[in-house]
Copies of this chain bind each other. A is one copy, B any other.
Amino acid sequence: MRTVDVQDLQSLAVGAAILGTGGGGDPYIGRLMAEQAIRENGPVTLLDPEALDDEALVLPTAMMGAPTVMIEKIPEGLEAVRALRAAEQRLGRRADATSPIECGGLNSMIPFIVAARTGLPVVDGDGMGRAFPELQMETFHVYGLSGTPAALADEHGSTVLLETPDNVRLEWLARGLTIRMGGHAHLVDYPMRGADFKRTAVWRTISMAIAIGEAVLQAPHRGQDPVEAIAEATQGTLYGRAVPLFEGKVVDVERRTEGGFAVGQATIAGLGPDAGATLVIRFQNENLAAVREGEVLAIVPDLIAVLDAETGMAVTTERLRYGQRVRVIGIPTPEIMRSDAALAVWGPQAFGLPWPFVPLERRFPDYYRRYGVPKGKEKYLEV
């Protein structure tokens, strides 16, 4: 049985920031909270979905909104445990496991706080396979699960239990509550049976995030290029090998707030092999499309990560700055994220983009013929 210790959290933070695709919230404060919880209570069991009992009760845990970073005092994260207990009370049953709803960014960490403080295992999988901004943007929703009973808890001791037949309404009500709770809240949503988790989740995303983070952190010690290290770490996963898209220097960032989202684009002037070309990255919290000279290289829900050129660490959209040297990579998303039902929720059109979804494997067939694709993705390599 695999466990996650304090060192794994360090890797997870690095990997989850890359899977955050520019958004998802900085894992830093969540990592401090999870570290403290694991230091006090010992390592957390990371449960492979295969080992999850069909009848187990899984209560996914997460944070909504923007956390207030308190530099003097690391929050204990007991709000998420309180949300869990409220959901258990409603369901009349104790949880057998928790899981992330979102493996990218901050929400990779929250389940480890809950797990360390309650003794529950964390199931190795999530409902986004990356980061997305809203609660209905979940494979759990796409494949028919109810988001409720959901429970929210804030740092003022308030707990709210939500039940609604409509997952979009869950997002609407929970978002309103989060604002009134002071801008952020911990939550449990999509309570489900083990069998439903196995059927609807994106599998093994936490172990993949840890592996990606380890690869990035180890690369300098091995004299390895960090992008090459990420490519190797993703090879053999459900996703498939990360592909280098571009390298260059940030020359322009436009950013505005629309409906609570950070919307805009970054322009990167090519260097090295990309000298003379320009890449534009469109984002709405998360990176949505990478467009080179008018040609779409990668598009949501495939993952687009902007990395520091030297270290390979993720640069979030909010930290994009003029003059940064960056490398941009794409990671193909798993097939469960690409069904018609899934694309209706988070495909390019759902974000108002004018381009259709074209999988990275189809866009870069030579690359993927060379390195291979996971089972189920061979169709993209047919001529």
Contacts from A to B (Cβ < 8 Å): 86, 89-90, 156-166, 169, 172-173, 176-177, 179-181
Contacts and interface: CB of A to CB of B under 8 A. Distances in A.
A161 B176 CA distance: 15
A1 to B, nearest CB: 36
Given A173-B177, A179-B176, A181-B173, A161 B160 contact: yes
Nearest to A82: B163
A189 to B, nearest CB: 13
Contact of A163 (B158, B163, B166, B176): B158
Contacts of A179: 176
A162 B158 contact: yes
B156 A166 contact: yes
Contacts of A161: 86, 90, 160-162
A172 B157 CA distance: 14
Contact of A164 (B158, B169, B173, B176): B158
Nearest to A158: B164
B173 A160 contact: yes
Nearest to A92: B89
A76 B336 CA distance: 42
Nearest to A162: B160
Nearest to A164: B158
A174 to B, nearest CB: 9
A89 B159 CA distance: 16
A242 B157 CA distance: 44
Contacts of A165: 156-158
A9 to B, nearest CB: 31
B162 A169 contact: no
Contacts of A86: 161, 163
25 contacts: A86-B161, A86-B163, A90-B90, A90-B161, A156-B164, A156-B166, A156-B169, A157-B166, A158-B162, A158-B163, A158-B166, A158-B169, A158-B173, A159-B162, A159-B164, A160-B160, A160-B161, A160-B162, A160-B163, A160-B173, A161-B161, A161-B162, A173-B180, A176-B179, A176-B180
A165 B153 CA distance: 12
A176 B179 CA distance: 9
Contacts of A158: 162-166, 169, 173
Nearest to A159: B163
Contacts of A181: 173
A158 B148 CA distance: 10
Nearest to A166: B156
Contacts of A160: 160-163, 173
A166 to B, nearest CB: 7
Contacts of A180: 172-173, 176
Given A86-B163, A157-B164, A173-B181, 19 more contacts: A86-B161, A90-B90, A90-B161, A156-B165, A157-B166, A158-B163, A158-B165, A158-B169, A158-B173, A159-B163, A159-B164, A160-B160, A160-B161, A160-B173, A173-B177, A173-B180, A176-B176, A176-B180, A177-B177
